[in-house]
Chain A
Amino acid sequence: MPWLSILIAVPVLGAVAVALLPKGSDKAAKQLALGVSLVVLVLTLVMAVQFAPGNGRWAFQETYDWIPSFGVHYAVAVDGIALVLIALSAVLVPIVILASWHDADGTGADNPPKRSVKTYFSLLLVLEAMMIGVFAATDIFLFYVFFEAMLIPMYFMIGSYGGAQRSYAAVKFLLYSLFGGLLMLVAVIALYSIAGKSTFLFPELIGAIQDPTTQKWLFAGFFIAFAIKAPLWPFHTWLPDAAAQAPAGAAVLLVGVLDKVGTYGMLRFCLELFPDASKFFIPLVVVLSVIGIVYGAIVAIGQTDMKRLIAYTSISHFGFIALGVFAMTANSAAGATLYMVNHGFSTGALFLIAGFLIYRRGSSYIADYGGVRNVAPLLAGTFLIAGLSGLSLPGLSSFVSEFMVLVGTFSSPVENFGFEIPAIIGATGVVLAAIYILWMYKRVATGPTAESVSGMKDLNGREKLVIVPLIALIIGLGFYPKPLLDVINPAVGTTLANVSVPAFAPAHPVADQKGAGQ
Chain B
Amino acid sequence: MNNTFQAPTIEYGQLAPLLLVFGAAVVGVLIEAFAPRYLRKSFQVPLTFVSLLGAFALILVQVFVSGVPTAPAAMGAVAVDGPSLFIWGVILILAAVSVLLITDDDHFVPQAAAVPGSAEEDDALAEGAAHTEVYPLVLFAVGGMLLFAASNDLLMMFVALEVMSLPLYLLCGLARRRRLLSQEASVKYFLLGAFSSGFFLYGMALIYGFAGTVDLAGISRALGTVSGQDPLLLIGTALLGVGLLFKIGAAPFQAWKPDVYQGAPTPITALMASGTLVAAFGALLRVFWVALGNLDWDWRPVMWGVAILTMVLGAILAITQTDIKRMLAYSSIAHAGFLLVGVIATGDARQNADALSGILFYLLVYGITTVGAFAVVTVVRDAGGEAGHLSRWAGLGKRAPALAGVFAFFLLAFAGIPLTSGFFGKYAVFAAAATGGALPLVIVGVVSSAVAAFFYVRVIVLMFFSEPAADGPTIAVPSMGTAAVVTVAAAATVVLGVFPEPVLRLADQAASTLFIR
Q: Which of B495-514 contact A (CB under 8 A)?
A: 500-501, 504-505, 508
Contact partner of B418 (CB less than 8 A), chosen from A144, A167, A174, is: A144
Indicate whether A69 sits within 8 Å of B431 (C-beta atoms), given known contacts A175-B453, A182-B446: no
Contact A190 B461 (CB under 8 A): no
Minimal beta-carbon separation of A316 from chain B (angstroms): 28
Interface size on B, residues (CB 8 A): 36
Minimal beta-carbon separation of B492 from chain A (angstroms): 17
The reply to whether the CB of A504 lies closer than 8 angstroms to some CB of chain B is no
Minimal beta-carbon separation of A235 from chain B (angstroms): 14
Minimal beta-carbon separation of A151 from chain B (angstroms): 8
Indicate whether A159 sits within 8 Å of B418 (C-beta atoms), given known contacts A152-B412, A179-B450, A193-B434: no
The reply to whether the CB of B466 lies closer than 8 angstroms to some CB of chain A is yes
Indicate whether A189 sits within 8 Å of B427 (C-beta atoms), given known contacts A145-B418, A167-B466, A170-B465: yes
Minimal beta-carbon separation of B408 from chain A (angstroms): 9
Question: Binary interface profile of A, 153-170, with partner B (CB < 8 Å = 1, else 0)?
Answer: 001100110000011001
Q: Which of B443-460 contact A (CB under 8 A)?
A: 443, 446-447, 449-450, 453-454, 457-458, 460
Alpha-carbon separation in the docked complex, A68 to B505 (Å): 9
Compute the total of residue contacts between A and B using a CB distance below 8 Å.
84
The reply to whether the CB of B238 lies closer than 8 angstroms to some CB of chain A is no
Q: Which of B420-436 contact A (CB under 8 A)?
A: 423-424, 427-428, 430-431, 434-435
With a CB–CB cut-off of 8 A, which chain A residues contact B443? Answer: 186
Contact B431 A189 (CB under 8 A): yes
Indicate whether A171 sits within 8 Å of B458 (C-beta atoms), given known contacts A67-B504, A159-B464, A189-B427: yes
The reply to whether the CB of A192 lies closer than 8 angstroms to some CB of chain B is yes
A115 (CB) vs chain B CBs: closest residue: B398
Contact B453 A178 (CB under 8 A): yes
Minimal beta-carbon separation of B380 from chain A (angstroms): 20
With a CB–CB cut-off of 8 A, which chain B residues contact A159? Answer: 460-461, 464-465
Contact partner of B449 (CB less than 8 A), chosen from A182, A189, A190, is: A182
The reply to whether the CB of A20 lies closer than 8 angstroms to some CB of chain B is no
Contact B442 A186 (CB under 8 A): yes
Alpha-carbon separation in the docked complex, A183 to B466 (Å): 30
The reply to whether the CB of B419 lies closer than 8 angstroms to some CB of chain A is yes
Alpha-carbon separation in the docked complex, A190 to B450 (Å): 18
With a CB–CB cut-off of 8 A, which chain A residues contact B454? Answer: 171, 175
Minimal beta-carbon separation of A183 from chain B (angstroms): 7
Contact partner of B464 (CB less than 8 A), chosen from A69, A149, A160, is: A160
The reply to whether the CB of B488 lies closer than 8 angstroms to some CB of chain A is no
B415 (CB) vs chain A CBs: closest residue: A178
Contact partner of A185 (CB less than 8 A), chosen from B397, B401, B446, is: B446
Alpha-carbon separation in the docked complex, A167 to B465 (Å): 6
The reply to whether the CB of B222 lies closer than 8 angstroms to some CB of chain A is no
With a CB–CB cut-off of 8 A, which chain B residues contact A105? Answer: none
Q: Which of A65-118 contact B (CB under 8 A)?
A: 66-70, 116
With a CB–CB cut-off of 8 A, which chain A residues contact B19? Answer: none
Alpha-carbon separation in the docked complex, A170 to B462 (Å): 12
Q: Which of B442, B457, B504, B508 has the most CB of A within 10 A?
A: B457
Range of interface residues on chain A? 20 to 34
B447 (CB) vs chain A CBs: closest residue: A182
Alpha-carbon separation in the docked complex, A193 to B457 (Å): 31
With a CB–CB cut-off of 8 A, which chain B residues contact A368? Answer: none
Contact A145 B464 (CB under 8 A): no
Minimal beta-carbon separation of A211 from chain B (angstroms): 15
Minimal beta-carbon separation of A154 from chain B (angstroms): 13
Q: Which of A113-153 contact B (CB under 8 A)?
A: 116, 144-146, 148-149, 151-152
Minimal beta-carbon separation of A68 from chain B (angstroms): 7
With a CB–CB cut-off of 8 A, which chain B residues contact A116? Answer: 401
Contact B418 A67 (CB under 8 A): no
Contact A70 B427 (CB under 8 A): yes
The reply to whether the CB of B439 lies closer than 8 angstroms to some CB of chain A is yes
With a CB–CB cut-off of 8 A, which chain A residues contact B453? Answer: 174-175, 178
With a CB–CB cut-off of 8 A, which chain B residues contact A67? Answer: 424, 500-501, 504
B461 (CB) vs chain A CBs: closest residue: A167
With a CB–CB cut-off of 8 A, which chain B residues contact A175? Answer: 450, 453-454, 457
Contact B465 A160 (CB under 8 A): yes
Contact B417 A149 (CB under 8 A): yes
Alpha-carbon separation in the docked complex, A98 to B256 (Å): 55
Contact A193 B501 (CB under 8 A): no
With a CB–CB cut-off of 8 A, which chain A residues contact B423? Answer: 145, 148
Contact B434 A174 (CB under 8 A): no
With a CB–CB cut-off of 8 A, which chain A residues contact B442? Answer: 186, 189
Contact A170 B417 (CB under 8 A): no
Question: Binary interface profile of B, 131-153, with partner A (CB < 8 Å = 1, else 0)?
Answer: 00000000000000000000000
Contact partner of A145 (CB less than 8 A), chosen from B415, B419, B435, is: B419
Contact partner of A190 (CB less than 8 A), chosen from B427, B434, B447, B464, is: B434
Indicate whether A182 sits within 8 Å of B450 (C-beta atoms), given known contacts A69-B508, A175-B457: yes
A151 (CB) vs chain B CBs: closest residue: B417
Q: Which of B417, B423, B466 has the most CB of A within 10 A?
A: B417
With a CB–CB cut-off of 8 A, which chain A residues contact B435? Answer: 193
Minimal beta-carbon separation of A180 from chain B (angstroms): 9
Alpha-carbon separation in the docked complex, A151 to B423 (Å): 14
Q: Which of B424, B428, B431, B505 has the most CB of A within 10 A?
A: B431
Contact A192 B431 (CB under 8 A): yes
With a CB–CB cut-off of 8 A, which chain A residues contact B439? Answer: 186, 190
With a CB–CB cut-off of 8 A, which chain B residues contact A183? Answer: 446
Minimal beta-carbon separation of A143 from chain B (angstroms): 10
B433 (CB) vs chain A CBs: closest residue: A189
Contact partner of A148 (CB less than 8 A), chosen from B418, B424, B446, B447, is: B418
Contact A171 B418 (CB under 8 A): no
With a CB–CB cut-off of 8 A, which chain A residues contact B458? Answer: 171
B449 (CB) vs chain A CBs: closest residue: A182
Alpha-carbon separation in the docked complex, A70 to B435 (Å): 13
Minimal beta-carbon separation of A157 from chain B (angstroms): 11
With a CB–CB cut-off of 8 A, which chain A residues contact B505? Answer: 69
With a CB–CB cut-off of 8 A, which chain B residues contact A171? Answer: 454, 457-458, 461
Alpha-carbon separation in the docked complex, A159 to B408 (Å): 14
Contact partner of B457 (CB less than 8 A), chosen from A68, A174, A192, is: A174
Contact partner of A149 (CB less than 8 A), chosen from B397, B418, B508, is: B418
Contact A189 B430 (CB under 8 A): yes
With a CB–CB cut-off of 8 A, which chain A residues contact B504? Answer: 67, 69-70
Alpha-carbon separation in the docked complex, A186 to B401 (Å): 35
Alpha-carbon separation in the docked complex, A419 to B403 (Å): 56
With a CB–CB cut-off of 8 A, which chain B residues contact A146? Answer: 418
Known A70-B427, A185-B427, A193-B431; 11 more pairs at CB < 8 Å: A67-B500, A69-B508, A148-B418, A152-B412, A159-B465, A160-B464, A170-B461, A185-B446, A189-B434, A189-B442, A190-B439
25 interchain pairs, CB-CB under 8 A: A67-B424, A67-B500, A68-B501, A69-B508, A70-B427, A149-B417, A149-B419, A151-B417, A152-B412, A159-B461, A159-B465, A171-B454, A171-B457, A171-B458, A174-B453, A175-B454, A175-B457, A178-B417, A178-B453, A179-B450, A185-B446, A186-B434, A189-B431, A189-B434, A193-B434
A residues near B (Cβ < 8 Å) are 66-70, 116, 144-146, 148-149, 151-152, 155-156, 159-160, 166-167, 170-171, 174-175, 178-179, 182-183, 185-186, 189-190, 192-193
B residues near A (Cβ < 8 Å) are 397, 401, 412, 415, 417-419, 423-424, 427-428, 430-431, 434-435, 439, 442-443, 446-447, 449-450, 453-454, 457-458, 460-461, 464-466, 500-501, 504-505, 508
Q: Which 4 A-B pairs have the closest CB atoms?
A: A167-B465, A145-B418, A193-B435, A182-B446
